[in-house]
């Protein structure tokens, strides 16, 4: 009998199409779906465009956790729209202020052995419970809710063995920062990271959430943990022990790739600007003055993370030079923080409490002062994501964050033993947490008569035309490596309120890189009908926000030519009818320049035949040919030729 790891067991149980050969496309049955508001409005508009009657998944939940600031009508209108859509399509609805999607889903809905897709790249956090949970573009989530399989290239499985126990002042955040130090932001591309080993018995389910959440920063397809006694204890604490099932790797199972972390050897780590992969020991940057500390977000969402910060600052005052911000994960977490005295400890020390939501993590408020360092327990520090240009966001553990809030400078938390004669506080999780489901709205039994409530800022999706046989368009922008979705379409309080208004949000396309892009794209669209862009390696890493494909498509983007792509963005391009081409010879990237004219001929024929595509470049001084290829499956080719997945799905419904 074949011995399987946990990832293989999960995929085997849900495999509908394809074979588990790394690199080949597989289709898997999806049990659960998760949406947040920054991406969920598009998902609901896509469900409307698909003429869906009712969700086909076991559970689907629409959360409101990103766009909570109500500075005008836009976000409030979207909240009303999302509630009406949840009632129309048979979804759970998590009301504004209830909490961050990933930890709330883990507490209330996650089940070992189940599959989940989420329209948020950090949906992989549910892997902490022994789930196969994948962040993806909203169109893929909409299709799964409509009962379609989720298609993905079969990843390699990297087994990471954890041994030993974490030393004092080191926690789960330092484990994932160590993985990023070793593998950087593209080291997980095409891989599932599966953790195993004796070290797991020292990591709670929420510790595992911290690690699984930031697997997205590695570029991994997802992260998987076994479902063991720690999983059972977590579900019991949430009043859901009956949902627990054991799911362990078979003894003697194999992994495609291997790594090992000896937990005893870890030290406090910190990611420097402007990448989660730019990781060094805290000691290397200790002493630098800071102006802000933010504790919270889906990357450090557990009661333990807030409790440990409260225990560190208990009876002390934070530095007057520091804004000490607390973003509680959920209403339920706040109640438990009050019960465990963590709330009082933080407030007394000078903490500023914010709403239960993502807040500064997605740039919705909490922008730091210019020219200063902000320490955050968040997952990302891409340029300008915080809302401050040339920001200096560092990512660290709650221990490092709290220690630095006290001293006003980056501080190795181990130094608190000398500074304050403070022993490391040891956390003991309550056997049963206070449970709060008051702000979760259950689905209606029949929502077919519910009308979608659309405010003036909500625009239905336009029709996308099918791929043409030939194009003659300019290279409108040339970019480097590791361009993030935040740089393609910026996040933050100025932009995200337009997430359901494609004409308006498209004005922010690529503005972080080139603030003239929109005007040039509109002119080129009139003159040539569209454009292409060129990029280096790992194009469109980061968020699952499909606006980073849809907005450029609205501006006429025909294709992207890159050395390679981040997984979610590559799929999003196809879903919206943009051709993702790859340089056959990476050195050709140097030849092509912004402003060159591009000719593409026999395109549909070559794409369908999986042939190399010769791109004719009319440069300023010469005309030359660059050979490119695509790595699309037969299914993706069908979708691309039709102009995207909505057109494909509507055709299926018509049939």
Q: Which one-letter DSSP state was computed for residue 541?
A: B
Of all residues in the chain, what percent carry a pLDDT higher than 70? 100
pLDDT the model gives residue 647: 83
Better-scored residue on pLDDT, 497 or 262: 262
Is pLDDT larger for residue 648 or for residue 57? Answer: 57
| Residue 460 neighbours by CB under 8 Å, 6+ apart | 45, 48, 49
The CA distances from residue 237 to 76, 86, 102, 226, 230, in Å, are 34, 28, 17, 18, 11
Tell me if residue 343 falls in helix, strand or coil: helix
Distance of CA 156 to the CA centre of its chain: 20
DSSP three-state, residue 496: helix
Q: Is the pLDDT of residue 655 over 60?
A: no
The two tokens of residue 293 are: 């500390």
- Residue 72: which pLDDT band, with cuts at 50, 70 and 90? confident
pLDDT of residue 310: 98
3-state secondary structure 66-96: CCCCCCCHHHHHHHHHHHHHHHHHCCEEECC
Question: Is 260 buried (19+), middle (13-18) or exposed (0-12) by CB count in 10 A?
Answer: exposed
- pLDDT tens by residue, 79-113: 999 999 999 999 999 999 999 999 999 999 999 99
**Does residue 609 carry a pLDDT above 80?**
yes
CB 455 within 8 A of CB 74: yes
Can you tell me the mean pLDDT for 396-409? 98
Over pLDDT 90: what percentage of the chain?
84
Return the minimum-mean-pLDDT range out of 206-210, 266-270, 297-301: 297-301
- Is residue 1 pLDDT above 90, yes or no? no
Q: Which of 118, 47, 39 is nearest to 86 (CA)?
A: 47
Average pLDDT over residues 344-360: 94
Strands 92-94 and 59-63: parallel
DSSP letters spanning 10-65: HHHHHEEES---TTSEEEE---EEEE-HHHHHHHHHHHHHTT--S--SSEEEEE--
Per-residue pLDDT, 544: 74
| pLDDT tens-digit series, residues 157-191 | 999 999 999 999 999 999 999 999 999 999 999 99
Among 40, 134, 73, 38, smallest CA distance to 361 is for 38
Q: What angle do CA 427, 429, 434 make, to 5 degrees?
A: 135
Q: Which helix (H) or strand (E) holds 653?
A: helix 645-654
Structural domains of the chain, with CATH:
6-265 (3.30.499.10), 269-419 (3.30.499.10), 471-654 (3.20.19.10)
**Rounded to an integer, what distance in angstroms lies between the CA atom of residue 133 and that of residue 130?**
9
Q: Confidence band (pLDDT; 50, 70, 90) for 653?
A: low
Q: Is the pLDDT of residue 253 over 80?
A: yes
pLDDT > 80? residue 651: no
For residue 217 the two structure tokens come to 């920063």
Mean pLDDT, the chain, rounded, equals 94
Mean pLDDT value across residues 402-426 = 97
What are the residues facing 152 on neighbouring strands? 26
């Amino acid at each position: 009998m074949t011995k399987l790891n946990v990832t293989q067991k999960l995929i085997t149980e849900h495999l509908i199409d394809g074979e588990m050969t790394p690199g080949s496309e597989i289709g898997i049955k999806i049990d659960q779906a998760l949406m947040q508001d920054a991406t969920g409005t598009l998902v609901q508009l896509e469900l409307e465009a698909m003429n869906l009657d009712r969700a086909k998944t076991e559970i689907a939940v629409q959360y409101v956790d990103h766009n909570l600031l109500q500075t005008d009508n836009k976000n409030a209108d979207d909240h009303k729209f999302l509630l009406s859509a949840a009632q129309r399509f048979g979804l759970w609805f998590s009301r504004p202020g209830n909490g961050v999607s990933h930890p709330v889903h883990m507490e209330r809905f996650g089940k070992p052995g189940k599959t989940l897709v989420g329209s948020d790249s950090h949906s992989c956090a549910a892997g902490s419970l022994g789930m196969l949970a994948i962040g993806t573009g909203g169109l893929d989530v909409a299709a799964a809710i409509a009962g379609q399989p989720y298609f993905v290239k079969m990843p390699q499985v990297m087994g990471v063995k954890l041994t030993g126990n974490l030393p004092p002042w080191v926690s789960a955040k330092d484990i994932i920062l160590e993985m990023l130090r070793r593998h950087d932001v593209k080291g997980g591309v095409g891989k599932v990271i599966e953790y195993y080993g004796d070290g797991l018995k020292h990591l709670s389910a929420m510790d595992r959430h911290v690690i699984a959440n930031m697997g997205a920063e590695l570029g991994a397809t997802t992260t998987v943990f076994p479902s063991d006694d720690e999983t059972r204890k977590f579900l019991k604490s949430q009043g859901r022990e009956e949902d627990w099932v054991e799911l362990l790797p078979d003894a003697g199972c194999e992994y495609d790739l291997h790594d090992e972390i000896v937990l005893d050897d870890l030290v406090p780590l910190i990611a420097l600007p402007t990448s989660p992969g730019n990781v060094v020991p805290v000691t290397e940057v200790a002493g630098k003055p800071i102006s802000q500390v933010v504790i919270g977000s889906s990357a450090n969402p557990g009661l333990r993370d807030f409790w440990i910060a409260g225990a560190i600052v208990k009876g002390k005052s934070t530095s007057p030079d520091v804004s000490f911000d607390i973003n509680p994960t959920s209403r339920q977490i706040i109640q438990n923080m009050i019960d465990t005295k963590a709330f009082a400890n933080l407030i007394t020390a000078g903490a500023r409490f914010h709403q239960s939501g993502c807040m500064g993590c997605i740039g919705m408020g909490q922008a730091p002062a210019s020219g200063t360092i902000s320490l955050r327990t968040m997952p990302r520090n891409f340029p300008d994501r915080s809302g401050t240009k040339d920001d200096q966001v560092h990512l660290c553990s709650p221990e490092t964050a709290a220690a630095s809030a006290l001293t006003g400078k980056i501080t190795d938390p181990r130094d608190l033993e000398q500074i304050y004669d403070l022993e490391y506080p040891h956390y003991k999780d309550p056997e049963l947490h206070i449970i709060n489901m008051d702000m979760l709205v259950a689905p209606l039994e029949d929502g077919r008569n519910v009308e979608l409530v659309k405010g003036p800022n909500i625009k239905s999706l336009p029709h996308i035309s099918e791929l043409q046989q030939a194009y003659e368009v300019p290279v409108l922008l040339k970019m480097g490596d590791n361009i993030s979705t935040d740089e393609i379409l910026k996040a933050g309080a100025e932009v995200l309120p337009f997430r359901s208004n494609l004409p308006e949000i498209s004005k922010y396309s690529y503005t972080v890189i080139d603030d003239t892009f929109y005007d040039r794209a509109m002119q080129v669209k009139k003159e040539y009908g569209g454009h292409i862009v060129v990029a280096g390696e790992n194009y469109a890493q980061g968020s699952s926000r499909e606006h980073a494909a849809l907005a450029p498509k609205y501006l006429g983007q025909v294709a992207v030519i890159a050395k390679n792509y981040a997984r979610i963005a590559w799929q999003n391009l196809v879903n919206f009818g943009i051709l993702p081409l790859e340089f056959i010879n990476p050195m050709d990237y140097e030849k092509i320049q912004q402003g060159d004219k591009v000719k593409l001929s026999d395109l549909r024929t070559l794409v369908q035949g999986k042939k190399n595509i010769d791109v004719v470049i009319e440069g300023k001084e010469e005309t030359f040919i660059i050979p490119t290829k695509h790595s699309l499956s037969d299914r993706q080719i069908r979708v691309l030729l039709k102009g995207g997945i909505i057109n494909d799905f509507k055709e299926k419904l018509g049939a």
